[in-house]
A and B are shown apart, each in its own frame.
Chain A
Amino acid sequence: MGKTIVEKILSAHTDTDNFRIGDIIKARVDFAFANDITAPIALKYFKESGARQVFDKKRIGLIPDHFAPNKDIKSAEQCKLLKEFAQEYGIENYFEIGKMGVEHALLPEKGLVLPGDVVVGADSHTDTSGALGALAIGVGSTDWAAVMALGEVWLKVPHTIKFIYSGKLNKWVSGKDLILYTISRIGVDGANYKVMEFSGEVIKGLSMDNRFTICNMAIEAGAKTGIIEPDEITLEYLKGRAKRPFQIYHSDPDAHYEKIVEIDVSKIEPQVAFPHLPENAKPISKVKEIKIDQSIIGSCTNGRIEDLRIAAEILKGQQVHSKVRLIIIPATQDIYLQAIREGLVDIFITAGGAVSTPTCGPCLGGYMGILAKGEKAISTTNRNFVGRMGHPESEVYLASPALAAASAILGRIASPEEVK
């Protein structure tokens, strides 16, 4: 029988022969990274492990991004731990704030995570890099400390669910809408412990930015990761970026899948996921009047250049509603600079939006856009749990950059079609 792309990547990274689904194997790790929230615990455990050095100084990333630029004294202390550890152990990929970005946008952009890799990140949205055809898995701090010391990770060989997208995309429907729709079909634990392989003619036609958005939210269905087979679009993206050689894998036509889900995208409208679970997506035409206090465009899900271009297309010549705070956060410094060069930042500020340096900030209720009691936000981020963006009695509605921009103008959750 044939193999899936994930089974091929695992075969290339383990000494275990003929493993089966459900077996626990040890896999060699190509790149490992952590942030200012997850690294502090891991760095302590690493030091206690007795290891004298990390498994590979070139293959570890330390990225202060969650509460960086430092939001308070405690956050500053945490970020300082990363910097000191990077100096002490010669970690090459430490990103100070002038070079930084939200980790899952930054690492692909810098060519540090590549097709065919096993990537282990101490952050649940590590799955984002699956869009490059890597097996990218999120873990906690102790697991990550073990990877730094040993260069390997224990994994249960997962089942794969294949999603095949076909049909013609409707206007304003993006990768974000496809993944919100998919999660609403299978539920927030619909892929628990499993891989979501995204495929079909629609995926083949999507840009890398849209593909990153889709893989980013596989965790929101409980998945071990999301993955997309590399193709010409992937290779084009990697040109001039890839920092080392890489291997392309594809799923065999006779590979075994636990389930195949076919989705006709021509029936999908722009989606809005209602509080308090990402599975609560509704098509925009079914959304009644919901007034908003804030609109966030950014994050590891939707803070890339195409996301900003779409927002700018809608905001150009418009004004943000007088009762709305629009906050736009480019995901990396390079994206920020590109947005300035393309005139996008000019459009945002002229429209009455605020533009911030890269940070995860508001996505997880850290800072840079916290909600008060009773406030509502539309956001291009990935989670709308209770209290996620601030007060436990605030609400987050997840949507694409197009909807977030249109809603900022109209003061209520709206489609760009309604913007005059």
Chain B
Amino acid sequence: MIIKGKVWKFKDNIDTDIIIPARYLNTSDPKELALHCMEDYDSQFVNKLNQGDMIVAGRNFGCGSSREHAPIALKAAGVSCIIARSFARIFFRNAINIGLSIFECEEIADQCSEGDFLKVDTARGTIENINKNKVYQLNPLPAFIQNIISLGGLREYVKEEVKRRESDV
């Protein structure tokens, strides 16, 4: 898979209350959640974001609550992928499960600028900063997680497993 997009930069410890404030969690409608994505960080973020743009962040992206509404809001707002030095563990699982692409890369957060264009090549495991003409390696995902992604997410895995168990009975 190749993902190309423009970078929006975020600092360390972006928490799920920033990504989608809890006051909007009385719905799980992706379109409605997307309207308020990152609202308390930058009230104009959603308006400035173009479909396919990327987020590049520091450490511990997605810390805090287990709300799956956070990756849902980002995906529905048009974010194509998130590249961070590290992710909080529940956010990491949630993003994989709903099919929002996320990548860990240590150097890029320091070395890219807001507005740079990046090209992620998942087959090669690389990120290229087109503006700065630099290539970085992605941290590879464990085989089990790659399998879930290739099946189309955890929901597809569960459907397969439910079918398999029923046919065993």
Q: Is B41 an interface residue (CB 8 A)?
A: yes
Could you tell me the distance in whole angstroms from the C-beta of A203 to the nearest C-beta in chain B? Answer: 24
Q: Which B residues lie within 8 Å of A149 (CB)?
A: 158, 161-162
Which range holds the interface residue count of chain B? Answer: 35 or more
**A385 and B64 contacting across the interface, CB-CB below 8 Å:** yes
**A386 and B98 contacting across the interface, CB-CB below 8 Å:** no
Given the interface contacts A140-B97, A142-B97, A189-B60, does A50 sit within 8 Å of B162 by beta carbon?
yes
**A222 and B144 contacting across the interface, CB-CB below 8 Å:** no
**B60 and A38 contacting across the interface, CB-CB below 8 Å:** no
Main secondary structure of the interface of A (DSSP, over half): loop
User: A37-71: which have CB < 8 Å to B?
Assistant: 37-38, 40-41, 45, 48-52, 66-67, 71
Q: Report the nearest B residue to A364, measured CB to CB.
A: B22
Q: Which B residues lie within 8 Å of A126 (CB)?
A: 66
- 0/1 interface trace, chain B 6-32, chain A, CB 8 Å (1 if under): 000000010101100111011110000
User: A143-195: which have CB < 8 Å to B?
Assistant: 143, 145-146, 149-150, 154, 156, 188-189, 192-193
User: B70-126: which have CB < 8 Å to A?
Assistant: 72, 86, 88-90, 93-94, 97-98
Q: Report the nearest A residue to B70, measured CB to CB.
A: A140
User: How long is the Cα–Cα vector from A156 to B92 in the complex, in angstroms?
Assistant: 12
**B162 and A51 contacting across the interface, CB-CB below 8 Å:** yes
Q: How many residues of A contact B (CB 8 A)?
A: 50
Contact of A142 among B59, B86, B155 (CB under 8 A): B155
Could you tell me the distance in whole angstroms from the C-beta of B144 to the nearest C-beta in chain A? Answer: 4
**A188 and B94 contacting across the interface, CB-CB below 8 Å:** no
Q: Is B154 an interface residue (CB 8 A)?
A: yes
Q: Is A9 an interface residue (CB 8 A)?
A: no
**B26 and A383 contacting across the interface, CB-CB below 8 Å:** no
Q: Is A224 an interface residue (CB 8 A)?
A: yes
**B59 and A189 contacting across the interface, CB-CB below 8 Å:** yes
User: How long is the Cα–Cα vector from A146 to B137 in the complex, in angstroms?
Assistant: 32
Q: Is B44 an interface residue (CB 8 A)?
A: no
**A140 and B67 contacting across the interface, CB-CB below 8 Å:** yes
Q: Which B residues lie within 8 Å of A50 (CB)?
A: 159, 162-163, 166
**B144 and A154 contacting across the interface, CB-CB below 8 Å:** yes
A: residues with CB less than 8 A from B are 24, 37-38, 40-41, 45, 48-52, 66-67, 71-72, 74-75, 78, 122-124, 126, 138-143, 145-146, 149-150, 154, 156, 188-189, 192-193, 222, 224, 277, 364-366, 383, 385-388, 392
